[in-house]
Amino acid sequence: MPRGRPKSNGNPFVDLPSEWKVKADSSSIVELNAVLAEIAKSEEQMQLEKESDPDLASAKEEYEEAMAGYREAKRLNRLKTKYTLRVLAAREQRAS
């Protein structure tokens, strides 16, 4: 099974059902405003469900724990890079 989204070929709305787009294209301004209100309600409901989803919270905790070692390694690599650049800059100043 292919991963990710299908290629859009420059069309950002490729994932929307054709029937929905046809209906939106033929809607009045009042109807379009009602559609926007429904979308906003749906987004709010999804956010509430997401915040109260115990499986998602557990997965987030597991992810954070799994990433801890990588974060620390990245932090140390950044510090090593900064220190090495500082040493190089000091040596270059002395050499000139």
pLDDT in tens, 61-93: 999 999 999 999 999 999 999 999 999 999 999
Distance CA 44, CA 58 (A): 22
Measured at the CA of 74, the angle between CA 73 and CA 78, to 5 degrees, comes to 120
In a domain, 58, yes or no: no
Provide the pLDDT for residue 48. Answer: 96
- Is the sign of the CA dihedral 65, 66, 69, 74 positive or negative? negative
- Regarding whether 71 and 95 lie in a shared domain, the answer is yes
Is residue 14 a contact partner of residue 8, using CB atoms and an 8 Å limit? yes
Q: How many domains does one find in the chain?
A: 2
- Regarding whether 47 and 22 lie in a shared domain, the answer is yes
Residue 8 has pLDDT above 70, yes or no: no
In a domain, 33, yes or no: yes
Distance CA 62, CA 56 (A): 10
- Structural domain including 40 reads 18-52
pLDDT in tens, 14-57: 999 999 999 999 999 999 999 999 999 999 999 999 999 999 99
- Is the pTM higher than 0.85? The answer reads no
In a domain, 9, yes or no: no
